[in-house]
Amino acid sequence: MKAAIIGGGVIGGGWAARFLLNGWDVAVFDPDLEAARKITAVLDNARHALPQLYDSALPSEGTLSYCDDLPRAVAGADWIQESVPERLDLKRRIHGDISAHAPADAVIGSSTSGFTPTELRATGARVIVAHPFNPVYLLPLVELVGTNDTRAASILRSIGMYPLTVRTEIAAHIADRLLEAVWRESLWLVKDGIATTAEIDEAIRMGFGLRWAQMGLFETYRIAGGEAGMKHFMAQFGPALAWPWTKLTDVPEFNDALVDMIADQSDAQSGHMSIRALERLRDDNLIGILRALKSTGTGAGAVVAEHEGKLSAHSRP
């Protein structure tokens, strides 16, 4: 099996690692002269992290190659994943080239976090949205938009991912809309001097972030309702939705002062570590969380356990 990765940044590199470490051959096309170096750095982290999720061996790595032109990269590919910068004109142009040269039966996915398939297909491209989350080689979620083809979902499951079909096209899909709400409120809290970036991160990782990892939002609130369940929770806390607690319908002016404030606080919070060191710390923590969830078959851990069962079956003589 062959995957073609168009765009070798953080997300493209993560896709390359996910496919490669699951035994696929991977061809990368990216005119950036630094693409090979960047992908090598992502692969180093992936090779350190992904095998630690499982008690069964991953398949032998596929072959990684870099192509000077897009047609050669997509030739013979079973899955083609575009991860170029989030500019609609650029994505449309790239997908025009992909559709012109891709095998007829190849799945063509876009990593776009905001655009819909209809927007991407406006110039005739045959593309679906397959939106992953960073790091792609560890986090299983992929939002699939614009397809009822079970083959795409089957391929993603075969490499240990969790395809979530988004039934209706909507800008930013599902997960990023939720993240945007938290991001907006966090920007206001920093701008208004109520909390620093570090304090907001502590509020998330010391509290509800841990609950979300295993139960998400609604199941967490169901428990909060006690024995009476969700109906009691809604009756008790629903009226708070009318209170002026948040500024989700507004956004602070995104000016230089706000950017500098956020950047300075972020530097004070984490500037003592390189990005690669932060990535390795993130991955090690995710491995511990995912393995704990795997032991109970909960949340993303259930996806890891299912994939491990397939790995174990393939490795038996």
Residue numbers in the known binding site for NAD(+) are: 7-12
What's at 156, amino acid-wise?
Answer: L
Q: Which two tokens stand for residue 281?
A: 């710390």
Q: Which two tokens stand for residue 35?
A: 């693409």
Q: How far apart are CA 131 and CA 35, in angstroms?
A: 21
Decide: residue 238, CB within 10 A, 0-12 exposed, 13-18 middle, 19+ buried: exposed
Angle at 28 between CA 154 and CA 18, to 5 degrees: 40
Binding-site entries: 7-12
Number of CB atoms found within 10 A of residue 254's CB = 10
* Residue 132 φ/ψ region, left for φ over 0, alpha for ψ in the -120 to 50 degree band, beta for the rest: beta
| C-alpha torsion angle, residues 135, 24, 301, 305 (rounded to 10) | -170
